[in-house]
C-alpha cells in the first residue's frame, strides 16, 4: 500500500510538471480577435504625444508588431509594439506574455480611456497613474481591460529585423524601436565591476562612443558572463536624460549580443 501511494504521488508530480511545461509552450492561436479599423499610426502617435501624461478620450486605434519578449524575464508585464519609425510600450500587467503575444505578432491597440506618457524616451500606455507614484502610466488592472484594449490579429507572425545604425545616428525620437549597434565591445567603467549582464554596463564602438545595456536582476541571463569579444548588441532603445544623457539598449535575452 505504501508503494502504491508513493507511485501515485510521483505520478501526480509528473503530471503537474507536464502541465506547467505545456503552459510555457508557444500558443500560436490564442487569443485572436477581430480585425479592427486603424485610424492612426504609431508614428503619428509618437509625434503627437511628446510631453506629460495625457488621458485619451478619442477613439484612436493603432496597430503594430511585437518586438519584445518576456520569456527571459528582462521585460516585465509589458509589450513593445512597433510600426515603421514609431513604437509604444503597453503596460499589460500580465505574466508570460510571450505565449499569447509572441515576437512578430500583429496587435491592435484601442487607446480610448487609457493614458499616455513618456518614460526613458519611450511612449508608454496604460491606466491613469496615481499622481504620487511618479509614473507616467500604470499597468492595466485586469485581463478584461487588457482584452478590451489589446487585440491580437489573426495575421501570421512576421520575421522582424532590428534597425541597424551607428551610435552617432541615435536620436531620442528613436526610443522604443528595436535597434542593433555593430562593432561594440564591453568596456567596464570600474576595475571591480562584475562582468555579468545584471544592471547597467557600458559598451563602446571603435571610436570610443558609448551605449549602455540594461538587464533586470531577475532576468534568466542576469548572472551570465558578458562576452569580451567585439560584437553587435540589439535591444529596445531608451534614453536616460540624467547623468549628462546616455542611450540604453534593453535586450530580450543573451542572444541579443552576437559575436
pLDDT of residue 184: 98
Domain that includes residue 252, residue range: 163-258
In a domain, 189, yes or no: yes
Do residue 147 and residue 191 come from a single domain? no
**Which of 87, 117, 152 is the endpoint of a domain?**
152
In a domain, 200, yes or no: yes
Do residue 130 and residue 216 come from a single domain? no
Do residue 173 and residue 250 come from a single domain? yes
**Which of 126, 152, 178 is the endpoint of a domain?**
152
Do residue 148 and residue 168 come from a single domain? no
Do residue 105 and residue 181 come from a single domain? no
pLDDT of residue 20: 38
Do residue 197 and residue 141 come from a single domain? no
In a domain, 49, yes or no: yes
Residue 30 CB contacts under 8 Å (≥ 6 apart), including other chains? 100
pLDDT of residue 52: 86
Q: Residue 224 is part of a domain; what is its CATH number?
A: 2.40.50.140
In a domain, 135, yes or no: yes
In a domain, 173, yes or no: yes
Do residue 58 and residue 145 come from a single domain? yes
pLDDT, tens only, 63-98: 999 999 999 999 999 999 999 999 999 999 999 999
In a domain, 20, yes or no: no
Do residue 135 and residue 179 come from a single domain? no
In a domain, 146, yes or no: yes
Upstream peptide bond of 31 is cis (omega within 30 degrees of 0):
yes
Q: Residue 63 is part of a domain; what is its CATH number?
A: 2.40.50
- DSSP bridge pairs for 186: 203
Do residue 84 and residue 174 come from a single domain? no
| Total tally of structural domains belonging to the chain | 2
pLDDT of residue 27: 44
In tens digits, the chain (259 residues) has pLDDT values of: 444 443 444 444 444 333 334 434 434 444 566 799 999 999 999 999 988 899 999 999 999 999 999 999 999 999 999 999 999 999 999 999 999 999 999 999 999 999 999 999 999 999 999 988 889 999 998 999 999 999 999 999 999 999 999 999 999 999 999 999 999 999 999 999 999 999 999 999 999 999 999 999 999 999 999 999 999 999 999 999 987 799 999 999 999 999 9
Do residue 140 and residue 203 come from a single domain? no
Q: Give CA–CA dist 182/90, Å, rounded.
A: 28
Do residue 141 and residue 56 come from a single domain? yes
Do residue 170 and residue 114 come from a single domain? no
In a domain, 178, yes or no: yes
**Which of 152, 179, 201 is the endpoint of a domain?**
152
Amino acid at each position: 500500500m505504501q508503494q502504491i501511494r508513493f507511485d501515485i504521488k510521483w505520478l501526480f508530480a509528473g503530471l503537474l510538471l507536464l502541465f506547467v511545461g505545456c503552459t510555457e509552450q508557444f500558443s500560436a492561436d490564442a487569443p485572436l480577435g477581430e480585425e479592427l479599423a486603424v485610424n492612426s499610426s504609431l508614428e503619428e502617435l509618437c509625434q503627437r504625444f511628446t510631453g506629460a501624461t495625457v488621458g485619451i478620450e478619442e477613439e484612436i486605434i493603432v496597430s503594430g508588431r511585437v518586438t519584445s519578449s518576456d520569456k527571459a524575464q528582462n521585460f516585465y508585464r509589458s509589450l513593445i509594439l512597433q510600426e515603421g519609425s514609431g513604437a509604444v510600450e503597453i503596460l499589460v500587467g500580465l505574466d508570460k506574455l510571450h505565449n499569447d503575444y509572441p515576437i512578430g505578432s500583429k496587435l491592435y491597440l484601442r487607446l480610448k480611456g487609457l493614458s499616455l506618457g513618456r518614460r526613458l524616451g519611450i511612449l508608454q500606455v496604460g491606466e491613469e497613474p496615481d499622481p504620487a507614484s511618479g509614473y507616467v502610466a500604470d499597468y492595466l488592472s485586469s485581463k478584461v481591460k487588457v482584452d478590451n484594449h489589446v487585440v491580437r490579429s489573426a495575421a501570421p507572425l512576421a520575421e522582424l529585423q532590428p534597425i541597424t545604425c551607428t551610435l552617432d545616428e541615435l536620436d531620442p525620437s528613436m526610443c522604443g524601436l528595436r535597434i542593433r549597434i555593430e562593432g561594440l565591445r564591453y568596456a567596464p567603467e570600474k576595475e571591480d565591476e562584475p562582468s555579468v549582464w545584471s544592471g547597467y554596463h557600458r559598451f563602446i564602438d571603435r571610436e570610443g562612443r558609448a551605449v549602455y545595456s540594461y538587464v533586470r536582476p531577475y532576468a534568466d541571463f542576469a548572472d551570465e558572463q558578458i562576452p569580451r569579444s567585439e560584437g553587435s548588441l540589439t535591444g529596445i532603445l531608451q534614453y536616460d536624460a540624467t547623468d549628462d544623457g546616455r542611450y540604453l539598449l534593453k535586450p530580450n535575452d543573451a542572444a541579443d549580443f552576437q559575436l
